[in-house]
Amino acid sequence: MKITFPHLGNVYIAGKAFLEELGHTVIPPPICSNRTLEIGSKYSPETMCLPFKIFIGNYIESIERGADTILITGSCGPCRFGMYSIIQRDILKKLGYDVEIIVLESPREGIENFKRNVGKVLGSNSTIDIIRNIKPALELMKKADNLTQYSNIVRAYAINKREVNRIMDEYYNDAVNLHGTKAMVELIHETRKRLKEVEIDRKYNPIKIGIIGEIYTIIEPFVNLEIERKLGEMGVLVEKSLTPTSWFEHHVYSYPFGSKYENMKLKLAKPYLGTQIGGHGRETIGSAIYYRNLGYDGAIQILPLNCMPEIVAKSVIKNISKDLDFPIMTLVVDEMTGEAGYITRLEAYVDLIKKRREKLLIG
C-alpha cells in the first residue's frame, strides 16, 4: 500500500510517522499551494466548501507521486462532510484514478465499521492492537500540536519574530524527509530547544486572541492564510480552539464519553444552542465563551464560504459578543480571498482591541 491522506495542518507529521512504523510507504501530498487549490476547484462541484476542493487537489497531487490508497476521516453528520468520501470517490473514479479509499469514521458511527477500516491500515482489527497502535500516534500528535502552540507563544514575545518563523519553516521541511516516530520526536525536541533560545521581551503583555470556527480552516495554514503567524507577527498571542489532538481525543480516544475539554465547551454552548448542527458549530459557540471566561481579549471565528454549521454559529456568537461584551470578528475564506484585504481586517481588529484595552485600563 502506498498511502496518502489530505493535509490537515500538521497532522502529516504524526500521521506519516505512525503509518511508517506500521511498515507502509507513505506519500503525503505536497504542502497545499495554489496548484492544489486550482486542481481541486477544477474537479469539484462549484458550490462545495473549500476543504472538499483542497482535499481533491491533495489526492490528485499524491496520486501523481505514486499513491494508491487514500486514508480519510469520515462522518455521517448533518453537514457536507458526511458526503465527502462518497462524492470524492466518485470524482476520482470518473477521472480514471484507480485508488482505494479507506474512510475512518468516528467509532460513534459504528464501532464495527471503525474497527474494520482501522484494521485495514493496522493489519489487525483486534481492540488491543488498535489501542496499542493508536496511543503512540496520539502522543506524537500531541507533541506536534504542543510545539506549534509553543511557537505561537514565543512568536508573540520574540524580539525578532522572523527567527521563530525560520525555525518553524525548517522544522516543517525536515519533518517531510524524516522516517518513523523516533526521528520525528527527536526533531520536535530539537525544535523546541531552538525556540527556547529565541530572545524574548519578558515584560511584554500580549493581546490574547482565540481562533474559533470550522476545524479545517483553523488548523490548515494555507486555507487560513497563516493566521497564527500573521497575528503573532503583530505581537498577538493566539490559541486555536480545535487541534488535531483535541479532535482525536474527543472522537476516538475518549470514545464513547468524549474528552473533558470538548464536553466542557459543549456545556458552555448549551444555553445558546443545545442541539448538534454538524461540523463544530456548537464547539465554536462554546469556545467563544471559554476564551471570554479565560480572560482573552477577543476571538476570531474563521470559516469557509458556505459552511453551514458555522453560519449558524456566526448568528449565535453575535449575541454572545453582546451579552458578554467580548469582541468577536468573523472571517470567511474561499478561493477568491485576497491576502491584502485579509491582513487589513486583522490589523483593524487588533487595533480595536488595543484601544479597548487602553480604555478599560483608564476607565
Chain positions contacting ligand SF4, by CB under 6 A: 49, 51, 79-81, 214, 216, 278-279, 304, 307-310
What's the min distance (Å) between Cβ of 112 and ligand SF4?
Answer: 25
CB of 309 to ligand SF4, least distance (A): 5
- Taking the least distance from each CB to ligand SF4, the nearer of 18 and 84 is 84
Cβ–Cβ under 8 Å, residues 231 and 209: yes
Whole-number Å distance between alpha carbons of 138 and 124: 18
The minimum distance between CB 348 and ligand SF4, in angstroms, equals 25
Which residue's Cβ has the minimum distance to ligand SF4? Answer: 279
For the bound state, the minimum distance from the C-beta of residue 55 to ligand SF4, rounded and expressed in Å, comes to 10
Cβ contact 121:71 at 8 Å: yes
Q: Cβ of residue 49: shortest distance to ligand SF4, in angstroms?
A: 3
Place of cell 524580539: 159
Nearer to ligand SF4, 45 or 123 (CB): 45
Residue closer to ligand SF4 (CB basis): 16 or 80:
80
Partners of 298 in the beta sheet?
209
Residue pair 157/206 in contact (Cβ under 8 Å)? The answer is: yes
User: Where are the alpha helices (H) located in the chain, listed in sequence order?
Assistant: 11-21, 34-43, 50-64, 81-94, 111-122, 127-157, 161-177, 181-196, 215-219, 227-233, 244-248, 260-269, 281-293, 308-324, 339-362
Q: CB-wise, 235 or 286, nearer to ligand SF4? A: 286
Task: Pick between residue 47 and residue 177 the one whose CB is nearest to ligand SF4.
Answer: 47
Q: For residues 220 and 310, which CB has a smaller minimum distance to ligand SF4 in the complex?
A: 310
Task: Please count the CA atoms within 13 angstroms of the CA of 69 that sit on its side-chain side.
Answer: 14
Q: Which residue has the cell 474537479?
A: 43
C-alpha–C-alpha distance, residues 70 and 7, integer Å: 12
Q: How far is the CB of 88 from ligand SF4 (least distance, A)?
A: 12
Give residues with Cβ within 8 angstroms of 134, minimum separation 6: 252, 253
Give min distance, CB of 359 to ligand SF4, in A: 36
* Residue whose CB is less far from ligand SF4, 53 or 230: 53
